[in-house]
Chains A and B, each alone.
Chain A
Amino acid sequence: EAQVTQNPRYLITVTGKKLTVTCSQNMNHEYMSWYRQDPGLGLRQIYYSMNVEVTDKGDVPEGYKVSRKEKRNFPLILESPSPNQTSLYFCASSSMGSTDTQYFGPGTRLTVL
């Protein structure tokens, strides 16, 4: 089954404790991206990647890192999480780029205390 998976689905952590949210797709997509969803703000793009070893900032990249060492994986790294990063995070992938249909993961709800 074609899908985007994220882990963990739920995470409660404390300020400053490094964490990684994994994202994996099995559709051989070149384009992957991360979004955060906050009430009243909709979805905002954090980072995106056009292909392996190619990443770029979205609208709200501060406090986040990403890497794209393999085509299927695109982990989101929070080196020193802060409470304002409490949010619902979605990974997405598409065949070629942002104009193609985006396939979203189920989301990761992160709470930073």
Chain B
Amino acid sequence: GNSVTQMEGPVTLSEEAFLTINCTYTATGYPSPFWYVQYPGEGLQLLLKATKADDKGSNKGFEATYRKETTSFHLEKGSVQVSDSAVYFCALVYGGSQGNLIFGKGTKLSVKP
């Protein structure tokens, strides 16, 4: 079946370090990829998304490129801040707007000053 696999955490980084969180998926068609972020005690919110192959989504210094050839949508940020501490979820939709939104298990990021 369709699935999303993301890097297990927790990930602990120092402020201004480079961040990569890997996300890969099984490909049965052309899914739409997203990254959602969950700050402590809150619901999830959209961080960024891509709509077609080789599309790069970006927001708040985070970027992710939709690579169909490697079935990946890795999240990157060049210089993390303490305020980026949160849980990050990779998610994909298979089957268009009526399809299911499938989430990865989440990666907890802690950024130390």
Complex contact A40–B45 (CB within 8 A): no
B7 part of interface (Cβ distance < 8 Å): no
Q: How far is the CB of A57 from the nearest CB of chain B, in Å? A: 10
Complex contact B44–A50 (CB within 8 A): no
Q: How far is the CB of A68 from the nearest CB of chain B, in Å? A: 15
Residues of the A chain whose Cβ atoms lie less than 8 Å from the Cβ of B103 = 35, 42-44
A55 part of interface (Cβ distance < 8 Å): no
Q: How many Å lie between the Cα of A4 and that of B45 in the bound state?
A: 12
Q: How many Å lie between the Cα of A50 and that of B36 in the bound state?
A: 21
With A41-B105, A45-B100 as known contacts, state yes or no: A99 contacts B44, CB within 8 Å. no
For A, the interface residue count at a CB cutoff of 8 angstroms equals 28
For B, the interface residue count at a CB cutoff of 8 angstroms equals 21
Complex contact A98–B97 (CB within 8 A): yes
Residues of the A chain whose Cβ atoms lie less than 8 Å from the Cβ of B104 = 42
Q: Mark A69-91, 1 if CB is under 8 A from B, else 0.
A: 00000000000000000000010
Complex contact A42–B89 (CB within 8 A): yes
Q: How far is the CB of A71 from the nearest CB of chain B, in Å? A: 17
B61 part of interface (Cβ distance < 8 Å): no
Complex contact B36–A102 (CB within 8 A): yes
A1 part of interface (Cβ distance < 8 Å): no
With A40-B105, A42-B105, A43-B89 as known contacts, state yes or no: A99 contacts B32, CB within 8 Å. yes
Per a CB cutoff under 8 Å, which of B43, B49, B96, B105 touches A104? B43
Q: Mark B65-93, 1 if CB is under 8 A from A, else 0.
A: 00000000000000000000000010001
Q: How far is the CB of B75 from the nearest CB of chain A, in Å? A: 15
Residues of the B chain whose Cβ atoms lie less than 8 Å from the Cβ of A98 = 93, 97-101
Q: Beyond the given A92-B43, A99-B97, A104-B43, please list 6 additional residue pairs across the A-B interface where CB-CB is below 8 A.
A: A35-B103, A42-B103, A43-B103, A97-B98, A100-B97, A107-B43
Q: Which residues of B contact A (CB under 8 A)?
A: 32, 36, 42-46, 49, 89, 93, 96-106
- A/B interface sample: 27 pairs, CB < 8 A: A31-B97, A35-B103, A41-B105, A42-B89, A42-B103, A43-B44, A44-B103, A48-B100, A59-B100, A59-B102, A92-B44, A97-B96, A97-B98, A97-B99, A98-B93, A98-B101, A99-B32, A99-B93, A99-B97, A99-B99, A100-B97, A101-B49, A102-B101, A104-B44, A104-B45, A106-B42, A106-B43
